[in-house]
């Protein structure tokens, strides 16, 4: 898939004696949501940082929208980053700024062509999309955990990115808020045609939002395919990771996996 927006080709990354990514080759298809799953400490966030160009591979390459994020000229890397949105694990909001100014941050950096008024209008539009209408002037410190995630999500999409990266969108949220965030991701993908990368160790929510699943285990890609394919794969580590929370359909049953007690 030459036109895939993100292509990992034989990527290895070590920190000292620790091999964190071990010859990972993986493409992320356009307009789809790919979940990268695996237990904690297995290299998921490190993989994400390669997409942004915050980390560089020791060998192999990472191409994002056609740009080699380790070897391209700084201006090309900067131009590519403008086309990415990122939701960090903890939301990474500035408590000293109000909600709207947090969301406006990427516009202030990358869209100086917009007037302040236009920026504000755009921010109000995305706050509505994440179901926080009218909260522009609210103090960020007054938000609940779920609201902080939504604000982070609004900031990730405010500059109309082609790719949005989420690091653990559900971590620290109660199940209902977590489901609401998943539903929001789903709606956005349908509405905006964005390529999503969702990093998660929470398999249940992931299965509901992902079109494709890639599983990392100790730095190796041990499974990759459509969600329907991956949930039926026989790999023992994958099975152990998936099986804890899910009831899996029989091999010839086309229904999706589901939670115990939920049809
Ligand atoms: N900048 C760094 N320097 C050294 N070790 C790191 C660095 N970043 C991550 N690691 C190590 O790499 C491993 C994978 O980390 P990470 O990708 O954050 O895991 P996770 O799958 O939980 O997101 C961990 O053992 C972590 O301690
Ligand atoms: Mg992580």
Percent of the chain's residues with pLDDT above 90: 59
Based on the domain organization, do 102 and 124 belong to the same domain?
yes
Based on the domain organization, do 131 and 146 belong to the same domain?
yes
Based on the domain organization, do 124 and 77 belong to the same domain?
no
Q: What is the mean pLDDT of residues 247-257?
A: 58
Q: Is 248 helix (H, G, I), strand (E, B) or coil?
A: coil
Q: 177-218 pLDDT, tens per residue?
A: 777 777 878 777 777 788 999 998 777 777 778 999 999 999
247 assigned to some structural domain: yes
Q: What is the mean pLDDT of residues 156-161?
A: 91
**H or E element at residue 26:** strand 18-28
Q: What are the CA-CA distances from residue 55 to residues 8, 83, 106, 109, 152 (Å)?
A: 13, 18, 21, 21, 22
Based on the domain organization, do 76 and 117 belong to the same domain?
no
Best residue for ligand 1 mutational test, from 36, 46, 166, 221 (most atoms within 8 Å of Cβ): 46
60 assigned to some structural domain: yes
195's tokens: 């390529």
251 assigned to some structural domain: yes
Torsions phi, psi for 220 (to 5 deg):
-105, 145
Ligand 1 touching residue 98 (CB < 6 A): no
Q: How far is the CA of 41 from the centre of ligand 2 (A)?
A: 7
Ligand 1 touching residue 40 (CB < 6 A): yes
91 assigned to some structural domain: no
Based on the domain organization, do 133 and 194 belong to the same domain?
no
Ligand 1 touching residue 94 (CB < 6 A): no
Does residue 77 contact residue 53 with C-beta atoms inside 8 Å? yes
What DSSP string runs through 142-169?
G--HHHHHHHHHHHHHTT--SEEEEE-T
88 assigned to some structural domain: no
Sign of the dihedral defined by the CA atoms of residues 140, 146, 149, 154, in that order: negative
Report the CATH number at residue 38.
3.40.50.300
Based on the domain organization, do 65 and 171 belong to the same domain?
yes
20 assigned to some structural domain: yes
Which structural domain range is residue 24 located in?
Answer: 1-83+161-263
Q: How many domains does the chain have?
A: 2
Where is the domain boundary, 160, 179, 207?
160
Based on the domain organization, do 71 and 193 belong to the same domain?
yes
Based on the domain organization, do 138 and 263 belong to the same domain?
no
Predicted confidence at residue 88, as pLDDT, reads: 76
Based on the domain organization, do 125 and 244 belong to the same domain?
no
Eight-class DSSP state of 121: H
Eight-class DSSP state of 212: E
Cα–Cα distance between 32 and 255 in angstroms, integer?
Answer: 20
Where is the domain boundary, 160, 179, 201?
160
* Residue nearest to ligand 1 atom 20, measured at CA: 41
Cα Rg of the chain, angstroms: 19
User: Does position 116 have pLDDT exceeding 90, yes or no?
Assistant: yes
89 assigned to some structural domain: no
Based on the domain organization, do 181 and 259 belong to the same domain?
yes
Closest atom of ligand 1 to 199 CA is 23
42's tokens: 């297995």
Where is the domain boundary, 160, 176, 200?
160
Q: 55-102 pLDDT, tens per residue?
A: 999 999 999 999 999 999 999 999 999 999 988 776 688 999 999 999
Based on the domain organization, do 148 and 166 belong to the same domain?
no
Cα–Cα distance between 182 and 167 in angstroms, integer?
Answer: 13
């Amino acid at each position: 898939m030459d036109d895939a927006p993100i292509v990992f080709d034989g990527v290895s990354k070590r920190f000292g004696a620790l091999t964190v990514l071990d010859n990972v080759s993986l493409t992320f298809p356009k307009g789809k949501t790919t979940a990268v799953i695996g237990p904690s400490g297995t290299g998921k966030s490190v993989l994400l940082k390669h997409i942004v160009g915050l980390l560089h591979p020791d060998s192999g390459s990472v191409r994002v929208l056609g740009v080699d994020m380790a070897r391209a000229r700084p201006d090309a890397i900067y131009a590519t980053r403008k086309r990415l949105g990122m939701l960090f694990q903890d939301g990474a909001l500035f408590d000293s700024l109000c909600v709207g100014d947090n969301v406006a941050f990427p516009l202030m950096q990358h869209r100086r062509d917009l007037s302040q008024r236009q920026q504000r209008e755009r921010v109000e539009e995305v706050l509505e999309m994440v179901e926080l209408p009218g909260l522009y002037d609210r103090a960020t410190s007054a938000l609940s955990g779920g609201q902080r995630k939504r604000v982070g999500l609004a900031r990730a999409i405010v500059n109309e990115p082609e790719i949005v990266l989420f690091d653990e969108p559900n971590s620290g949220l109660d199940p209902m808020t977590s489901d609401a965030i998943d539903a929001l991701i789903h709606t956005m993908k349908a509405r905006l045609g964005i390529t999503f990368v969702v990093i998660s160790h929470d398999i249940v929510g992931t299965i509901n939002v992902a079109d494709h699943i890639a599983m990392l285990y100790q730095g190796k890609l041990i499974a990759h395919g459509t969600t329907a394919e991956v949930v039926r794969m026989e790999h023992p580590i994958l099975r152990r990771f998936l099986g804890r929370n899910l009831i899996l359909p029989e091999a010839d049953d086309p229904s999706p996996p589901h939670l115990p007690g939920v049809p």
